[in-house]
Structure 1
Amino acid sequence: MKIFGENVFNDAAMRERLPKATYKSLHKTIEQGLPLDPSVAEIVANAMKDWAIEKGATHFTHWFQPLTGITAEKHDSFISPTKDGHVVMEFSGKELIQGEPDASSFPSGGIRATFEARGYTAWDCTSPAFLKEDAGALTLCIPTAFCSYTGEALDKKTPLLRSMQALSKQALRVLKLFGNTTTSHVTSTVGAEQEYFLVDKKFFDKRLDLMLSGRTLFGAMAPKGQELEDHYFGSLKTRVAAFMHDLNVELWKLGVLAKTQHNEVAPGQFELAPIFGTTNIATDHNQLVMDSMKKVALRHDLVCLLHEKPFAGVNGSGKHNNWSMSTDDGMNLLDPGPNPHENFQFLTIISAVIKAVDDYAELLRVSAANPGNDHRLGANEAPPAIISIFLGDQLTDIFEQLQNGGLNRSLQGERLASGVKTLPAFRKDSTDRNRTSPFAFTGNKFEFRMVASSQSISGPNVVLNLIIAEVLSQFADCLEQAPDFDQALQALLKETATNHKRILFDGNGYSNEWVEEAAKRGLPNISSTVDAALVLMRESTVELYEKHKVLNRTELESRYEINLEQYCKQINIEALTMIDMAKHQIIPSAVKYSTQLANSITAIKSASSAVDISVQAELLKDLCSTLVSFNANLINLEKVTHEAATMTTEAYAHGVYYRDVVFKAMQALRTDGDKLETIIDADQWPLPTYSQMLFML
């Protein structure tokens, strides 16, 4: 495909445009993590500039990922003045390597005050530069990390790169114990499936809640939802298919390996899945996917909604984070092989994953916490807030054998016949899938299904890399000093299988019985973003992050503050939006309709006292009583929102107030608002309905 990667300064472009010595030096930096030679940067910058200008670019930007969770960019042109009043196109190695955005204008959790503005972006040469198109203009985007003047990470990328280094270091120690002397680097790989909703722009433009908060704050359920299960994998509507085609073209130009697209379960919901990539590049690509979805949708008079729960009562959206580990010589460390009970390297790696997820389940929960996910977790098609692992029949059987002290078999998939002679029989997988599990083994990778649809995948993968690096280091410490490696390994695997079997669960994660069972097993159940944030402040968390040099105490404290601050701000925006919609849209329409009903009753009475007006009277009574309740709840929401905005309490207490007081007041107001929608004449209801938004594409 000629268009694939045409807007990426990838390996092929570098090989073509760079001198051989420069190319080899840069390649060593990328592949082996060696320091970048400044003289190499100067040559690369010039080649990159020429390539971008030939493509039509006039500006460049350091493209980075601040703690807002989205991307940021400041565009500078290539032009430089000459003495004769003209300009030349220039781009130096210094401009490639380093930028200087305003650090105090991004979330920093107290690291940077308003008067302390200096921050730096630094080129991440392991992720290729690319050309981004906006309104026909091309800009050279240079993926970078972002740090403060005092050196702390202020972004999502820096800790991700640090965690990848930590994982590689500890994985190499374990591989060496198994006689592997050829692997020089281990990296985590990710494929992030992205769920999203599409709505017609004409409806979006009439919904203040969608515009300001990304979700519907009012909205009665449509007569039809997803109960017929007819949308999932259904035939694509023409308008949606056209959007997906254009989206694929945009992504393929950017080198994003968009592979699979389909209707998701909820009406108006869809999914895009990519092919695996190195974690930091996959993270960059997922940001490009979300950005491209929004831009391409607008070309089709659609709006892409990435909120985790834009519509109450139907499935929410998540991001399935498919995580694995690979060596630089092409080995997937989570590939069990044909007989996993004989593959002790695989069993050691997967045991480390199991122990890590059990020991640090609360950290994984924190990594997927945001206000939108609080609406989603535990609902349809979403995993519960309880972390558990699904291994499947084959591996579960192997770990039961380990607990019993011996390995002698690997269950194999049987041949499956359909009963139709013309259809081929085939060998089915050795295990089923469990889509209710938040952390499921799916053949040669783990699928972390708890990740929120709108968030960067950096945070969850930082935690996965970190906790597995920690357990691998524990395994290496034990085995490196063992006088008898085989005996020590057998003991270690048995101990892990025995002590961490509580985290394994292959049943229905949506059931109430599982919640009760998980409590008996001692598994944590953190239901809200506010409570999840506390895990970041534990001394054990700080020690873990500092041990592997992923985040220091100051950086962790900043993320605690930012998580809670963003939660409070999001709920505050939603509350103020509800107040605005209630005052300026819902109450006026309710008053107008009640007046019409009253006038109708008066007119009928004056025409004939014998006419039965009980239906109109009952309707008016129901409308007025609901309106009174709605107004009382509105007054209460205004009161508690004002109180919350003027509070000066500690971050956690502030978050608790927004969750337990403000959000509950919002729910009460919504209940009455949604009832008013079912009473008021459809022609007079001021908001597009669920029926329109979910089914009119």
Structure 2
Amino acid sequence: MAELRFHALKQTLERVPIYIEEKERRSSIFGANVFNESTMRQYLTKSAFNEVMDAIVKGSKIDRLVADHISTGMKEWAISKGATHYTHWFQPLTGATAEKHDAFFETIGEGASIEKFGGGELVQQEPDASSFPNGGIRNMFEARGYTAWDPTSPAFIYGTTLCIPTVFVSYTGEALDYKTPLLRALQAIDSAAVAVCKYFDKNVKKVNASLGWEQEYFLIDKALVASRPDIVATGRTLLGHSSAKGQQLDDHYFGTIPNRAMSFMRDLEHECMLLGIPVKTRHNEVAPNQFELAPIFEEANLAVDHNSLLMDLMHKTAERHHFKVLFHEKPFAGVNGSGKHNNWSLSTDTGVNLLAPGKTPMSNLQFLTFFINTIKAVHDNEELLRAAIASASNDHRLGANEAPPAIISVFIGNQLTKVLSELKNVTSGKLSPEEKTELKLNVVGKIPEIMLDNTDRNRTSPFAFTGNKFEFRAVGSKANCANPMTVLNSIVAKQLIDFKAEVDVLIDKKDMKKDDAVFNVLREYIKKSKNILFEGNGYGEAWEKEAEKRGLSNNKTTPEALKVRVSKKVIDLFEGLGVMNKIESEARYEIEMEDYVHRIQIEGRVLGDITKSRVVPTAVKYQNTLIENVKGLKEIYGATFKTVAKEQLRLIEEISSHIESINSKVDKMTEERRAANHEENIETKALAYAYKVNPMFADIRYHCDKLELLVDDELWPLTKYRELLFTN
């Protein structure tokens, strides 16, 4: 097996960058393969175009007869771009995208054929749903599921296929995907936010949630990955001693992008431009061979689709450049893992960012309303936010040196902390003219319009305010953004509904002026939410102890974190907003728990296989070499050989000790895994994997990594960290 490792290294060192020549301005090709507004104007009738735009802007339904006109225009455009097939492109609860391709081609008898694509094919399809995760929503023998067109996310051409973004639901109507609950949550936040905006501007008719994701990832040569069965099967290294040089010099971060990586990025960005994904930023991240790209902010539903599409694009583009993209949150021990920071804000159809302070006290009051309500929503639902980013892979990252802890808190900076402190101390009830003047001039009126750099960023905060948006930093790099975005928009929508109800009571029953009522409710929210605000270092025991005093949860494992999903409070929250019913909530809990179990189960099996079939045999082989060496020394030196062979004998004993520990611990881990598999209750099974199986991985790894340092480098069968991270 060592031969495979050295062959992979040789291949990697011989790679030549594939240079991509860009002949056109990116602005000229942006969205060229997207059925966007500009393209629709060319290929649709005026009435069909207006129906699509009404569906996008107002959420109105499209008439089936009009759908026929739309499908005809879409087909003609797609064929003109070289497309031969179409597919409903959706996001099932596997974490990947899904598609089933059908040709435009149809026979019409007597050897004749036509290209056909009607409104029925556009609006709805019936893919086989039998093998997708469903969490008990449907029986195994029931395969029927439906995909339905989402006109708010434009169709696009990838390769020779017209891809139509869709939702995916069961025969009985329950959501089987990430998109459906997200669309419902976005509708909820739109309605709730518009109602609150009316306090400040009667002209507001729509509020959009925006999202800007930051995608971190590793680029590893595909030959090196192929030589590591753990990366191939699990996306991360289960074994491997740290390299002498890691990230401690900080010489990779924002450094010159390596040539091969740059070629990959340019190729990827060209593909993104054609598909309308507005990628803008690229740079080296902290860990060796780690990188990041980020787009211009978009409406949340479209941003989620673009991120899912981007991850597919990255895999396919990397293949052309002989790379493998690793999205696992912690593929390498001892160096930074990868996140996907979700930058979230709300904006009106009048062009106002509701989380950006304006020039006037009234604008500041509107900002404070949405700012404080968001903090209150996080405070009241911090466990649910933790559940939204829970996964077996993200558990490795949360709380590590580069990532926020599993404790959800909010960082807002010194300036806004002082503003909230002053606002909290305002006298309750109706405000006197002097108090109103003081409040508007000294508290609300002094918030600057732009606060992007009013405080240092807190890298340890899972949820931080960064000037005109909140950054949900705890989201993992593998995650589908729809999950955290569904939760965040839902909890803020619920909070805004409650806020408006409280303000209206004060206005209607207490005869308060609107400003007085708003100030009074906000002041109480500040008092009730103070425990979620934290400006300090999120790492270490001190914050854990403080968070416990504050009553904040610290769910370090996915099974612990996911329990809240089936609590009455959460089920009522989603049902009340129409985001998910009880069946859908319970199904997602089952699916995510099963996913956790399966991933730890796979890792356990792979770890057992590698140690028993590669690590131990290699150690024995090297040990036999040492034994032969000792025998030779004994022949030469006779009775005094032990003095001469002292180090060899010590090595033989040390190797034996590690081999014994590996074998016994792997056997014990296998027994624990088998015992966990016999548990019928999914929660009991997941907790067994979390607390009995998973902890044994580190013990087994310790002894394997020690052997890596002892065994002859030419014999070691697994590509080492120094090679994975510093060869490109």
Contact 1:413 1:428 in 2 (8 A): no
Alignment of 1:463-502 (within 5 A): 463-481=487-505, 482=507, 483-484=511-512, 485-502=514-531
| Equivalent in the alignment of 1:606 | 635
Give the Cα separation in 2 of the matches to 1:662 and 1:342. Answer: 54
Say yes or no: does 1:527 pair with 2:556.
yes
Between the aligned partners of 2:571 and 2:381, the Cα distance in structure 1 is 13
Q: Identify the residue that residue 3 of structure 2 maps to in structure 1.
A: none
Q: Which amino acid aligns with 2:651?
A: L
CA displacement, residues 560-612 of structure 1 (integer Å, 9 cap, x when unaligned): 11111000000000011111111221111111111111011111221233561
Residues 388-408 of structure 1 deviation map (CA, whole Å, 9 limit, x = unaligned): 111112211110111111631
| Separation (CA, whole Å) in 1 of partners of 2:401 and 2:606 | 27
Is 2:461 the partner of 1:429? no
Q: Does 1:629 align with 2:661?
A: yes
Aligned amino acid, residue 656 of structure 2 = C
In the alignment, residue 436 of structure 1 is paired with which amino acid? T
Q: Give, as a single letter, the amino acid of the residue that structure 2 aligns with 1:112.
A: R
- Indicate the residue corresponding to 1:451 in structure 2: 475
1:97 match: 123
Tell me the equivalent position of 1:298: 319
Deviations 1:40-74 (A, max 9, x none): 21111111111111111111100000011111000
For the 8 Å contact 2:452–2:466, the answer to whether it is kept is no
Shift of 1:183: 1.8
Whole-angstrom CA distance in 1 between matches of 2:311 and 2:391: 17
SS at match of 1:343: helix
Give the aligned residue type for 1:590: A
- The corresponding residue for 2:6 is none
CA distance in 1, matches of 2:149, 2:252: 43
- Find out whether 1:157 has 2:157 as its counterpart: no
- Counterpart of 1:387 in structure 2 is 408
Q: Measure, in 2, the Cα distance between the counterparts of 1:521 and 1:660.
A: 26
Matches of 1:477 and 1:18, distance apart in 2: 44
User: Helix, strand or coil: the match of 2:352?
Assistant: coil
Q: Secondary structure at the match of 1:440?
A: strand
Partner of 2:392: 371
Deviates further, 481-490 or 209-218 = 481-490
- SS at structure 1 position matched to 2:633: helix
Does the 8 Å contact 2:218/2:291 carry over to 1? yes
Kindly tell me: are residues 575 and 404 of structure 1, through their superposed partners in 2, closer, same or farther at Cα, counting changes over 3 Å? Answer: same
Between stretches 2-11 and 459-468, larger displacement belongs to 2-11
Mark the CA change 1:520 to 1:648 in structure 2 (over 3 Å): closer, same or farther.
closer
Match for residue 188 of structure 2?
Answer: 166
1:322 maps to which of 314, 337, 343: 343
Contact 1:322 1:447 in 2 (8 A): yes
The answer to whether the 8 Å contact 1:185/1:327 transfers is yes
Q: Greater shift after overlay, 332-341 or 48-57?
A: 332-341
Aligned-residue CA RMSD (Å): 1.6
TM score, norm. by length of structure 1: 0.95
Aligned residues: 680
Q: Say which of 110, 114, 117 aligns to 1:88.
A: 114
What's the % identity of the aligned pairs?
Answer: 49
1:439 aligned residue (426, 445, 463): 463
Query: 3-state DSSP class of the match of 1:104?
Result: coil
- Contact 1:390 / 1:439 at 8 angstroms: preserved in 2? yes
| 607 and 86 in structure 1: CA distance in 2 versus 1, 3 angstrom threshold | farther
SS in 1 for 2:29: coil
Q: Answer with 79-88 or 313-322: which moved more.
A: 79-88
- Please tell me whether the aligned partners of residues 222 and 323 of structure 2 are also in contact (alpha carbons under 8 angstroms): yes
Aligned to 1:675: 706
- Aligned residue number for residue 205 of structure 1: 226
Q: What is the match of residue 418 of structure 1?
A: none
Which letter maps to 1:87?
A: S
Measure the CA separation in 1 of the matches of 2:213 and 2:454.
24
The CA distance in 2 between the partners of 1:213 and 1:580, in whole Å, is 13
- Cα offset, 1:338, TM superposition: 4.3
Partner of 1:650: 681
CA contact 1:258–1:273 (8 Å) conserved in 2: yes
Secondary structure of the residue aligned to 1:101 is coil
Please tell me the residue identity of whatever aligns with 1:277: E
Verify the 8 A CA contact 1:251 1:257 in the aligned structure 2: yes
State the one-letter code of the partner of 2:167.
A
Instruction: Identify unmatched segments of 5+ residues in structure 1.
Output: 415-425
Q: TM-score, normalized by length of structure 2?
A: 0.91
Residue in 1 that maps onto 2:379:
358
Which residue of structure 1 aligns with residue 420 of structure 2? 399
Cross-structure match for 1:33? 59
**Contact 2:87–2:99 (8 Å) recurs in 1:** yes
> How big is each residue's C-alpha offset from its partner over 1:183-219, in whole Å with a ceiling of 9 and x where there is no partner?
2211100001000011111110011110110010111
Report whether the alignment pairs 1:20 with 2:46: yes
Secondary structure of the residue that 1:400 maps to in structure 2? helix
Q: 1:189 aligns with which of 205, 210, 227?
A: 210
- Residues 359 and 448 of structure 2 are in contact (CA less than 8 Å); yes or no, is this contact kept in structure 1? no
CA contact (8 A) 1:317 1:453 kept: yes
Task: Say whether the 8 Å CA contact 2:452–2:468 is kept in structure 1.
Answer: no
1:428, 1:283 → 2: CA distance?
Answer: 25
Q: Gapped runs of 5+ residues in structure 2?
A: 1-26, 427-437
Contact 1:166 1:548 (8 Å CA) reproduced: yes
Q: Which range is displaced more, 398-407 or 452-461?
A: 398-407
Q: Which residue of 2 aligns with 1:61?
A: 87
SS in 1 for 2:564: helix
